[in-house]
Chains A and B, each alone.
Chain A
Amino acid sequence: MLFFKRGRVPGARSWELKTGLGKGYAKILEQLDENLKDLDLEVKKVEPQSQSDFKQGPEAGEEESRYFVRLKGTLAPKEARLCGWRIDNLAALAAALVLVVSKQGKSERKELETVIGNKAGRWRALTLMDTFLRSGYLEEDEEGLVKLGWRTRAELDLPSLMMLLAESTASSPESSEPVEDDQASIEG
């Protein structure tokens, strides 16, 4: 139930697991988590998203929590490339996520496109934003504001990402040059 994708979103909801495994499903998941350690995998529980800026904690019930199986460790750049991720795209996703987090979880789409554009080129920024929205890393609400998506909540350790950014020091000026549009479009 956790490994196989049955709908648009992978993983399984609490109530699905309860129906399939019975009331003691939490213990079974704990055991599964223990067994998956050898494969460098883990079971991750994602609470349902809080609907409001002002309320703390999950407001939907435990029944709506979703469980995923994810990599316990992290990927090396080479491994990420083998999964089909380009360095540009990873950098763009990092930039988009930290900006949204710094703005308390919501940011204007245009602002995000400008920030991504500085790293990946203006035209690629538009397509990358669509890709991030489609894959669930970001979500757009009815007011047109972009917020963190379900996949970010499941896959990203945001405190670690923010900490790395806060502790970082700038690289040499050559490597931080923005990408020219033509160069980006040739690559992509």
Chain B
Amino acid sequence: MTTTEKVHRFSGKRELEELIQTCVSIENRRFNPFLLDIAEALSIIRQHSNQLRTLDDHLLDMRAITSVARVVGLQSAHLRFQSSSLFIDPSMVKQKLDSLSREQLAEFLLLSWHPIVELEQLTLASTKEAKEFWERMLSFFERRKRLHLGPFDNPEATNLAELAKMRVVDEKAYTRKMQDLWNELKKRAGEDETVDYWDFIKASNFAQTVTRAQLVSFLVSYGYANLQRKDNTMFLVPKAKPHPHPEGSPLSFPIPITKEALVRAK
């Protein structure tokens, strides 16, 4: 085989591979099926048909033909779809989706939605299984013995303070905590009307610091305070009256709580 022939074969192989790749992309809905000129694709396949020597060459040729055939099928399906009432251009759909509100979209779905009625029920087999499980199950005290939990204490009554100490419930409601923190912020801001963010959230331990940072994020989101940045420093500016954003916070600003930042704070 001469060098020219070799180059010819190599470029032919590459062209067929590119053709197959284009067909695969069309099948995966990345492109419109009419992007491929079928006559041109067939002429490429025909052009290289006399250079098929090995089994791999023939397989590649076959893959190219079947890929083009699939695209022809997709073109036919596309035409059928365009003539149906469901046809809207995907780019137009995307534009519409961007411009419509969530409420509008939900309403459209509700107007076209007929949910299925589904009832769950006990079957004879599942009832039998449940009964067998219940009968085989050891008593509570038997199962407890296996866990080696020591002597069994009878249940006792407790109060809210005790539960709060055990961290089962919070002593104060969340809104109350926010209110207290807002008052603290106003007090600490004083005449300057600003407080350094890190100074304010820093507490005696890390868990407390994270809790304060979370509360502060709600104070800012709900319009009780503003967060301002000057160079590398962040300041909290309390508001005299809360000014909530009805549509939620206009932007999101993540603040990582790092050891270095806490050390730098007074």
What class of interface size applies to chain B in its complex with A?
35 or more
Chain A nearest CB from B31 CB (Å) reads: 11
Whether, in the assembled complex, B4 has its beta carbon less than 8 Å from a beta carbon of chain A, the answer is: no
Which listed residue (B89, B105, B117) contacts A94, Cβ 8 A? B105
Cα–Cα distance between A177 and B203 once the two chains are bound (Å) = 36
| A108 with B249, Cβ < 8 A, contacts A74-B112, A95-B97, A165-B88 known | no
Whether, in the assembled complex, A183 has its beta carbon less than 8 Å from a beta carbon of chain B, the answer is: yes
Q: Nearest B residue to A105 by beta-carbon distance?
A: B81
Cα–Cα distance between A107 and B121 once the two chains are bound (Å) = 36
Within 8 A of A (CB), among B11-64: 28-30
| A102 with B88, Cβ < 8 A, contacts A94-B106, A175-B101 known | yes
Whether, in the assembled complex, B207 has its beta carbon less than 8 Å from a beta carbon of chain A, the answer is: no
B113 engages A75 (CB within 8 Å): yes
Which listed residue (A91, A107, A158, A162) contacts B105, Cβ 8 A? A91
A158 engages B112 (CB within 8 Å): yes
Cα–Cα distance between A98 and B22 once the two chains are bound (Å) = 25
Which listed residue (B94, B96, B114, B121) contacts A168, Cβ 8 A? B96
B116 engages A94 (CB within 8 Å): no
Whether, in the assembled complex, B151 has its beta carbon less than 8 Å from a beta carbon of chain A, the answer is: no
A162 engages B111 (CB within 8 Å): no
Q: Nearest A residue to B247 by beta-carbon distance?
A: A174
Whether, in the assembled complex, B108 has its beta carbon less than 8 Å from a beta carbon of chain A, the answer is: yes
A155 engages B113 (CB within 8 Å): yes
- Residues on B with C-beta less than 8 A from A70 are 114-117
Contact with A along B60-83 (1 / 0, CB 8 A): 000000000000011011101100
Whether, in the assembled complex, A27 has its beta carbon less than 8 Å from a beta carbon of chain B, the answer is: no
B110 engages A176 (CB within 8 Å): no
Whether, in the assembled complex, B168 has its beta carbon less than 8 Å from a beta carbon of chain A, the answer is: no
Contact with B along A108-144 (1 / 0, CB 8 A): 1000000100111000000000000000000000010
Whether, in the assembled complex, B153 has its beta carbon less than 8 Å from a beta carbon of chain A, the answer is: no
A168 engages B104 (CB within 8 Å): yes
Cα–Cα distance between A48 and B150 once the two chains are bound (Å) = 60
A176 engages B114 (CB within 8 Å): no
| Interface residue count on the A side (C-beta < 8 Å) | 75
A171 engages B104 (CB within 8 Å): yes
| A175 with B106, Cβ < 8 A, contacts A71-B114, A106-B29, A155-B115 known | no
Chain B nearest CB from A102 CB (Å) reads: 4
- Residues on B with C-beta less than 8 A from A32 are none
Cα–Cα distance between A123 and B121 once the two chains are bound (Å) = 35
Cα–Cα distance between A42 and B89 once the two chains are bound (Å) = 33
B88 engages A166 (CB within 8 Å): yes
Which among B74, B76, B117 has the highest number of chain A CB atoms within 10 Å? B117
B247 engages A170 (CB within 8 Å): no
Which listed residue (A73, A151, A161, A164) contacts B116, Cβ 8 A? A151
B77 engages A176 (CB within 8 Å): no
Which listed residue (B74, B102, B111) contacts A164, Cβ 8 A? B111
A143 engages B28 (CB within 8 Å): yes
Whether, in the assembled complex, A72 has its beta carbon less than 8 Å from a beta carbon of chain B, the answer is: yes
B residues engaging A (CB < 8 A)?
28-30, 73-74, 76-78, 80-81, 85-90, 92-94, 96-121, 123, 247-249, 251-252, 254
Q: Given A166-B88, A175-B101, A181-B252, 9 other A-B contacts at CB below 8 A?
A: A5-B118, A72-B114, A74-B114, A80-B106, A103-B90, A104-B81, A162-B88, A180-B252, A183-B249
A residues engaging B (CB < 8 A)?
3-6, 10-11, 41-42, 44, 52-54, 56, 68-77, 80, 83, 87-88, 90-91, 93-95, 97-99, 101-104, 106-108, 115, 118-120, 143, 145, 151, 154-166, 168, 170-172, 174-177, 179-183
Query: What would be 15 A-B contacts, judged by CB atoms less than 8 Å apart?
Result: A5-B119, A74-B114, A77-B106, A80-B110, A91-B109, A94-B109, A104-B81, A143-B28, A156-B112, A161-B109, A161-B111, A165-B108, A166-B96, A168-B108, A171-B103
